[in-house]
Amino acid sequence: MIKINEMILTPLITIFFILLDRIELFSLVPAVLGTYRVWTGWMEYQELRFLMQRMYLKTMQMGGPFIVTNDSTYLPYVYADAMVRLGMRHPDFA
């Protein structure tokens, strides 16, 4: 509910008050910055989600992964491990 409020309702209310010419700069700036922050976070999340899905499908297609993690810090290492193991099994792939 908080994300819906920050992503949809806050911009709509802000636009409504701008059209009524009833908003002050001290109210407008935090609303715009907060909405921008939430939307950029959402876009980054979607991009990373699809990247992880592609990496997972690629490793599953090649017979992996052998190491599993949910930590985004270690995900590239899991992908690299799967690709190295794939290269060991199929030298022409690497």
Extents of the domains making up the chain: 1-50, 62-94
Share of the chain above pLDDT 70, in %: 84
- Please give the residue that has the higher pLDDT: either 34 or 70: 34
Q: Convert the pLDDT of each residue in 17-50 to its tens digit.
A: 999 988 888 888 999 999 999 999 999 989 988 8
pLDDT digits (tens, 9 = 90+) for 49-60: 888 788 778 777
* Cα 91 from Cα 72, distance rounded (Å): 28
Give yes or no for a contact between 50 and 22, defined as CB atoms under 8 angstroms apart. no
pTM: 0.61
Contact 40, 75 (CB under 8 A): no
2 pLDDT above the threshold of 80: yes
Mean pLDDT in the chain? 82
